[in-house]
Amino acid sequence: MPEITSPSACQTVITTFETSPGNCQDLLDALRDAYQSFISKQPGFIGAGLHVNDAQTRIANYSQWTRREDFQAMLRSEEMRERNRNFNALSRSFEPVMYDVAAVF
């Protein structure tokens, strides 16, 4: 499970997806499947959470990895490239960004 600490020894990745109410559930289902069957089994994966806004137009994904290289290797895999093409078809845009924890309250 993800744990937010500062300083943090892990790599944090926050991905935001812009979608529509008509595609939101399909995108959530695709993300759940990706985490359950593939991403969570990759080396360095610690944990993740999916968040949806009330209007069902945005999904935020918070994930933690042991090292940034673990996350990058997962992204470069052929399976994840195919899944990302599907995520792209279900959203207007999505962007994974790596962060360092600056403070915890």
Q: How much is the pTM? A: 0.92
- Angstrom distance (rounded) from CA 93 to CA 70: 23
- Helix ranges (H only) for 1-105 are 21-37, 68-76, 78-89
Kindly tell me if the per-residue pLDDT of 96 is higher than 90: yes
Amino acid at 18: E
Share of the chain above pLDDT 70, in %: 100
For residue 54, give every residue at least 6 positions away whose Cβ sits within 8 Å of its Cβ, in sequence order, or none. Answer: none
Tokens of 81: 């490239």
The band of 75, judged by pLDDT with boundaries at 50, 70 and 90, is very high
pLDDT digits (tens, 9 = 90+) for 24-73: 999 999 999 999 999 999 999 999 999 999 999 999 999 999 999 999 99
Three-state SS at 51: strand
| CATH domain 11-99 topology | Alpha-Beta Plaits (3.30.70)
Task: Identify the pLDDT of residue 5.
Answer: 84
